[in-house]
Each structure stands twice: as C-alpha cells, then as structure tokens.
Structure 1
Amino acid sequence: MSVWCKYLIIAPISLSIVLLVAGCSENKASQCQRLIQVVNEGNSLIDQKKGQQVITSMQLSKDLEAVTRSLKELNLADPKMKELQSRFVKVFENLSQAIAKAARALGAAKAAEASPAGREKLQKARTEIDTALTAAAKTAGKESDVLVNELNKYCSQPE
C-alpha cells in the first residue's frame, strides 16, 4: 500500500474521531439548551393541564414527577448549571406534591355526602386544596421565576 493510500484511509478516520470527541464534549450553550428544554416541558404541562378534575390533577402530578426525573438525569458538567438543575428539581418536586395533595382533597370533596358530616368533609377538603395550591403557587412559582431569570442570564453570557 502506498503512502498516499494510507493517508486516504487515515485522514477520514482521524477526522471522524476528532468530530466525535468534539461532539461529545458539551459546551455551556448545549447544557443550557437541554436544561431549558426540560424546564419548558414541565411549565407547558402545568399550563396545559391545570384544572379542577381529580384525574387530570393526579396525572399532572405524575407528569411533573417524570419531568423531575428527566431533570435529575441531565448529566450537566457546568457547576452553575448543576446548581440551577438541583433547584429546578426541588421546584418541580414541590409542585408535584402540592398538586397530588390537592387532587386527593378534591377526590374527597367529590365523594362527600349531602349531610352535615359530608359538608364538614367538603369544607376540610376545600381548605386543604386552597392551602396546598396557594403554598405551591407562592413558593414554587416565585422560585421558578427567579430560576428562569437566573438561567436566562447565565445562558446568555458568553463562554
């Protein structure tokens, strides 16, 4: 085999290896993009599925648990991105738990009988729903807004 033929074989293989290695080393922009994509999925679920139905609320809670798992599985190398990821995980965990609690209370309210005891159950369920969702909206909502701003600010900075 001539030297020229060896270069024809070695050059494409070397180029492939370089592109593979370069493609595998993730930069800040690609990590930002992956984190933003998962966060947007979670926020989209909340916007689409918020409602007063028990089944819908329970499903939303389960879907948010899946988003939380997806967030946890992002293998981010950037320390700031890891910190933001961890904080987003907490936000979605809290939202999921609050929505599940409200859904259970809504289920109890729907099952309440038309009696004094049933009315008492209904009032208790309403209080639980209001408490769970108000707390989630105040804490998780505010934290999410802060995190989105931090993420956007950090991701818009040059590397």
Structure 2
Amino acid sequence: MSISHKYTVLAPVSLSIALFISSCSETKVSQCQRLIKLVNEGTSLIDKNKGTQVITSIQLSKDLQFITKSIQELNLADPKLKEYQSGFVKIFQNLSQAIAKAGKALGSTKIAEASAAGKERIQKARNEIDSSLTAAEAIGKQSDKLVDEMNKYCKQAE
C-alpha cells in the first residue's frame, strides 16, 4: 500500500470518528441552552398575551401546545435536564389546557342571552375562568421554581 493511499483512507475515517464523538458528546451547557430557549419562548408567549380576548387565548393555547411538543422532542442526554424537560412539558400542557378552558368560557359569555339561562351561563363561565386563573397561577409558581432549579443546575460546572 502506498503512503498517499494510506492517508486518503485514514483522513476520512479519522474525520468520521471525530464527528461521531463530537455529536455524541453535546455539553451540558448546550443542552441547557436549548431547553432554556424553548422555555423562554413559552414564557414570552404568555407574558405577551396576558389578559387577551377569546381568539387570542385559543391561539395562545395552540402556541403553547407547539412549545410543549418542541420541548418534548429535545434530545437531551443529561439525566437531570431530562427531569426538567419532563417538568416543563407538564407545566406547558397544563397552562395550555387552563388557557383554552378560560378562553372557551369567555367565549360562552359573549353569546349568552339576556335571560335567566344566559345569566346562569355567564356565572358558570366566570367560575370556570376563575378556576382556570387559579390553576394558571399555581402552575406559574411551579414553573418559577423549576426555572430557578434549572438555572442553578445549568450554572454548575460540568
């Protein structure tokens, strides 16, 4: 085997091995950054749409479902980050459901008639909205706690 042939085979093999090793060894920092980016996107959506109308609430719920799916699909290797990932999936799923429920309840108040049945419908919707807001507030506190824990973990040296 000639020397030049030996290097032409060795170079691609070495490059392949190096790429394989580097792709398998994604750092904790880069995994943290990917998870934090999606969590921030979801939080930003919520902040931007607080107190909005029915159509916006329904859209926000759908947008949060998309964020939830994106978080679920993150391919994280770090076991602790996988725990945070799972926690945020639950948080955004629950927020999406609470916002959808409140949006639908708000929508039902807009079509309620000026009658005893309409007043009853409005009162039921108010109760559902209040329940959803209470749930969303509790979920928000869980999210804040999880964000704090994840930030502390992500700041630790590897």
TM-score surpassing 0.5?
yes
Q: How does the TM-score come out when normalised to structure 2?
A: 0.90
The residue that corresponds to 1:140 in the other structure is 139
The residue that corresponds to 1:64 in the other structure is 64
SS of equivalent residue, structure 2 residue 119: helix
Q: Which amino acid aligns with 1:66?
A: F
What is the RMSD computed on CA atoms of the aligned residues? Answer: 1.6
The residue that corresponds to 2:152 in the other structure is 153
Q: Which amino acid aligns with 1:113?
A: E
Q: How does the TM-score come out when normalised to structure 1?
A: 0.90
The residue that corresponds to 2:110 in the other structure is 110
Query: How many Å apart are 1:14 and its aligned residue?
Result: 3.9
18-27 or 32-41, which deviates more:
18-27
Identity of aligned residues (%): 61
2-structure distance, mates of 1:6, 1:49: 63
60-69 or 18-27, which deviates more:
18-27
2-structure distance, mates of 1:57, 1:91: 17
The residue that corresponds to 2:35 in the other structure is 35
Aligned residues: 157
1-structure distance, mates of 2:40, 2:14: 36
Query: How many Å apart are 1:32 and its aligned residue?
Result: 0.7
The residue that corresponds to 1:23 in the other structure is 22
1-structure distance, mates of 2:51, 2:14: 53
Query: How many Å apart are 1:8 and its aligned residue?
Result: 4.6
The residue that corresponds to 2:76 in the other structure is 76
- Consecutive unaligned residues of structure 1, counting only runs of 5 or more, are none
Query: How many Å apart are 1:12 and its aligned residue?
Result: 3.7
Runs of 4+ residues deviating >6 angstroms: none
Q: Which amino acid aligns with 1:130?
A: D
SS of equivalent residue, structure 2 residue 151: helix
Q: Which amino acid aligns with 1:57?
A: S
1-structure distance, mates of 2:127, 2:47: 23
Query: How many Å apart are 1:71 and its aligned residue?
Result: 1.1
